[in-house]
Structure 1
Amino acid sequence: MFRGSYVALITPMTETGEVDYASLHTLVDYQLQNGTDGLVIMGTTGEAATIPFSEQLAVLQAVIEQVAGRCQILAGNGSNSTAEAIAKTVALNAYAIDGFLTVTPYYNKPTQKGMLAHFQAVAAATDKPVLLYNVPGRTGVDLQAATVAELSQVKNIVGIKEATGSMLRLAELKASCSADFDLLSGDDASAKEFILQGGHGVISVTTNVAPAGMTAMIAAARQGNRQQASDIDDCLQALHRDLFIESNPIPTKWALKRMGLIASDFARLPLTRLEPIHQAVIEQALQQAKINL
């Protein structure tokens, strides 16, 4: 259902902090023209934490209208409040999206039992597919494979974005979930290996700036062509690493502005712009990925 190369899309903003819809249109076109299988709107990379829900809905609707069914669209619906996540899910359910990406509840550090009940409640609020999202480095909690296996029995919980970067975790998920449960990497640096070892795709930050390379690498890995996938991924490794030299999406926004795809690298506080000392690092990573500047 959700397999291949997906982008965790940034939300471009003007110098005064409003959503830049012209740049958003350019970014969506860039992804469509380079074979990206799906767009994730208003996840972590999209700065959902600092964008009011009314604005999130406006951005989502603009993307839906532009895409017009040409690729899949997933919407972020996560919250550390189960009631809020349910309310967001109910509102988003009216939109022409293909499914949800639902992050583990952050900050309040629920138990496995609490996360199980949280995801069951959110999934019950929609008939659309739900992807779980496990990113312990962001949330402070780790959704264990045994909990994922139990959640995979819920009819519309169809997969997981697993961002630990652990191949052991992948093996545990493969062993405990059915073959039709989608396993997507949320860690660009290990995505190639994740897929070669049985994963189905990636939801990627790197894809914002290198969609063609990521599409080709993921396709080669899904076909089991290790050499081809490695040759492509070797060119992307600096991006995988350096797009996190500061908090995501700060470096990605700078890179996209440098590429001429967005007008401003503005991010809403508490995020700031990329420090000048890091700009040459990102530029070198773009050059290594053979991206024209």
Structure 2
Amino acid sequence: MFTGSMVALITPMNEKGQICKSSLKKLINYHIKNGTSAIISVGTTGESATLNQHEHQYVIMLTLEIADGKIPIIAGTGANATTESILLTKKFENTGIIGCLTVTPYYNRPTQEGLYQHFKAISENTSLPQILYNVPSRTGCDLLPKTVIKLSKLKNIIGIKEATGDLSRVNQIKLKVNKNFVLISGDDATALDFINLGGKGVISVTANIAAKEMQDMCQLALNGNFTEAQKINQKLMPLHQHLFIESNPIPVKWIAKKLNLIQYNSLRLPMTPVSYSNRKKLEKIFKKSIIYKQ
């Protein structure tokens, strides 16, 4: 359940910035149809930082309801307060959620010991499988391999989404953890190389708009057909790169609207629509991309 192309799903909103249920249903059906391995609901790409606690829980449970068992749902449950992350995680026990993706505490800049104790406390207070999430470019702290290895020994910490883009970490971690510990890329541009080094898949931004292509690439690579996987990845690379031309999920929401996957290109402040100059760049890349006529 924790392999292949797993989408870090955008949270669609209407023109007033409220959750758009019809667009969410359309997105989920798109991923079911195109074979996405799992949906991560309300992670970074899902604008977790701008949803209140009620909305956070509502979107995840609505995603679970719409999916109706046709695709696994992983809940984003990270917070910069350990107690808040525990409370949020516990809300999804016995619901059908298959696991939680828990980002390192942002803004606080904890030490490695603080990170260990944070994830240990969460692990001790839930039976749900936990995927660690390391993205220092957004959180201001880096979960180092030595701490990941230490955490991997805890009962329900089953893997990590490693989003540094540092491929050397795959072997650093892989060589010292149990063989069942899952390494997942959190960086689309290096995901194929990550899998080739022993990773099991990617939690992807690009999959929001190229679900089939990302899943095909991952499955080919996992089956050892790196040459064919590379052909797909080369066609996707301009998207991988330009989806971060402004802060995620600004560009991916813009393209999702172009593809009619969502009804409105709405974000919540402090996120703002893509600038005019970057919109022109995205338009050019989009029209040349593998997904233009999908």
TM-score under structure 2 length normalisation? 0.97
Q: Give the whole-Å Cα distance in 1 for the aligned partners of 2:234 and 2:203.
A: 19
Question: Do residues 56 (structure 1) and 35 (structure 2) align?
Answer: no
Unaligned 5+ runs, structure 2: none
Q: Give the whole-Å Cα distance in 2 for the aligned partners of 1:173 and 1:145.
A: 6
| Superposition map of 1:196-275 within 5 A | 196-275=196-275
Q: Give the whole-Å Cα distance in 2 for the aligned partners of 1:288 and 1:154.
A: 46
Q: Deviations over 1:223-281 (max 9, x none)?
A: 12121011000010011000000000000110011111111111000000011211232
Q: Deviations over 1:31-83 (max 9, x none)?
A: 11111000000100000111011112221122111111112110011111111
Structure 2 counterpart of 1:68: 68
Q: Give the whole-Å Cα distance in 2 for the aligned partners of 1:173 and 1:289.
A: 34
Which has the larger displacement, 274-283 or 255-264?
274-283
Q: Give the whole-Å Cα distance in 1 for the aligned partners of 2:187 and 2:9.
A: 15
Q: Deviations over 1:69-118 (max 9, x none)?
A: 11211001111111111111112224320000000011110000000000
Q: Give the whole-Å Cα distance in 2 for the aligned partners of 1:207 and 1:289.
A: 14
Q: Give the whole-Å Cα distance in 1 for the aligned partners of 2:68 and 2:22.
A: 17
Q: Give the whole-Å Cα distance in 2 for the aligned partners of 1:284 and 1:128.
A: 43
**Is this contact kept in 2: 1:5–1:37, CA < 8 A?**
yes
**Is this contact kept in 2: 1:6–1:36, CA < 8 A?**
yes
Structure 1 position 289, deviation (Å): 3.0
Q: Deviations over 1:175-208 (max 9, x none)?
A: 1112110000000000000001110000000000
Q: Give the whole-Å Cα distance in 1 for the aligned partners of 2:274 and 2:129.
A: 36
Q: Runs of 4+ in structure 1 displaced over 3 angstroms?
A: none
Structure 1 position 282, deviation (Å): 1.8
Question: Do residues 190 (structure 1) and 171 (structure 2) align?
Answer: no
Q: Give the whole-Å Cα distance in 1 for the aligned partners of 2:43 and 2:126.
A: 18
Structure 2 counterpart of 1:80: 80
Q: Give the whole-Å Cα distance in 2 for the aligned partners of 1:163 and 1:238.
A: 18
Specify the SS of the correspondent of 1:128: coil
| Superposition map of 1:123-142 within 5 A | 123-142=123-142
Structure 2 counterpart of 1:35: 35
Structure 2 counterpart of 1:283: 283
Structure 1 position 149, deviation (Å): 0.7
**Is this contact kept in 2: 1:188–1:240, CA < 8 A?**
yes
Question: Do residues 156 (structure 1) and 156 (structure 2) align?
Answer: yes
Which amino acid in structure 2 is aligned with residue 106 of structure 1? Y
Question: Do residues 10 (structure 1) and 10 (structure 2) align?
Answer: yes
Which amino acid in structure 2 is aligned with residue 83 of structure 1? T
Q: Deviations over 1:136-170 (max 9, x none)?
A: 10111111111111111111100000001111111
Q: Give the whole-Å Cα distance in 1 for the aligned partners of 2:37 and 2:187.
A: 17
**Is this contact kept in 2: 1:145–1:176, CA < 8 A?**
no
**Is this contact kept in 2: 1:235–1:288, CA < 8 A?**
no
Aligned positions, number: 293
Structure 2 counterpart of 1:169: 169
Inter-CA distance 204–77: structure 2 relative to 1 (3 Å threshold): same
Which amino acid in structure 1 is aligned with residue 154 of structure 2? V
Q: Give the whole-Å Cα distance in 1 for the aligned partners of 2:141 and 2:57.
A: 28
TM-score under structure 1 length normalisation? 0.97
Which amino acid in structure 1 is aligned with residue 130 of structure 2? V
Specify the SS of the correspondent of 2:273: coil
Q: Give the whole-Å Cα distance in 2 for the aligned partners of 1:58 and 1:186.
A: 25
Cα RMSD of the aligned pairs, angstroms, is 1.1
